[in-house]
Structure 1
Amino acid sequence: MSHDHRIRFKRLNQVCEKALAQSISKLQNWDKLSSCYPGYISTREGYANLKTCQVQVCDFWSQLCRQEFQAIFEERDVKAKLDELDDLILKAKERARSHRDGTGSHTRVEDLTPAQLIRGSIRRAQSETLEQLDTRLRSLDGKNAKLRAELEELNKAVGSELEELDRLYEKWLGKGLGNGAGELQQGVENMVVETREGP
């Protein structure tokens, strides 16, 4: 089966990358950085050293943030839970579509075992199958609520990490991360809203 419908974890990663890119862009602003050390960059050696430092800090910060994001995702098993949610939503949509179109699956007599034929009719076998599917689909709300709570915790955890990075940036370079943390938090909050809405 194709997994093209599993989009939520990919979108969460895209939100994190966008927020990180906005944060890193502040460090990549040479005019702002060089204005903090006008005397130091007045020499060729100082200029070269600060340029090298800027590249190294940007690389280090990018790697550190990505590692933190992945550690949080792994600790909370975010990918598996978002993939499971995508699967359940797809099944719910397919079930709703088959009911609308009147094309729901039917159990064939040749697919039943002798024991199943003895125990009851095809209708009973169909009823049991549909009941099992209904039970799985009813669990979607519970999983949704749990996932929503975990996404909200994830939002807080990532927000805390970005606030700490913001404090470090402010301490060493004078200004905060700008919209980076807000962008990430807004993206995760949007995913929480979509999770509430369901299929």
Structure 2
Amino acid sequence: MKLFGTLLIVSLLIPALPARAVTGDDEGWKAFGHALTLAQVLMGIAVRSDNPDKAFDDVLAGRDSEANRAIAGMLEEATADMPPEYRDRVASMGRDIATLARRNVGKAPAAPASVDSALQARKDLTAMGLRYYDQKDFLDAVGRDDTLAVELFVAGRGVNLGARDWRGRTALDIARDRGNRPMAELLARNLPAAR
């Protein structure tokens, strides 16, 4: 969804860029070209990637050289007429924005579960032969790396996600021990706050 929002913003900005380019100066067309390159990179991510959000996160993290060149070119063109002290401040703000964006890479906000989604998750668990309220079924699913079942247990809200197995390990401990990082992150995001 965030990729769609970014593509929408870029598509709205592109028509504004030719206004500067119409003056006939080469500089305006360079900025427009950089914006087109960036838009093309983002559109290409949406079309070609199996996981557009991860690919977009790579752009934010600075791992896409074509996007890096386009952004640097746009910044250079936008600040070309500025005094050096203002140019440095704009560049500093850009770095801060990129840092904030990278800080949130891969962190999906935990969406509040609705009653309908909890009910559907419980039905799905029951259809799988699992009891949505059974701690043992939940911990067993974590132990066998059954991500689908664990996601349903989390969505179903019928078990204590901080429950411990017979060895005293929580589901989070088990997922980490098994090296299942995505599952561990899911559990960590959804654990109740410590009291």
- TM-score, normalised via structure 1 length: 0.31
Point out which structure has higher relative CO (alpha carbons under 8 A, 6+ apart): 1
Point out the structure with the larger helix share: 1
TM-score, normalised to structure 2, is 0.31
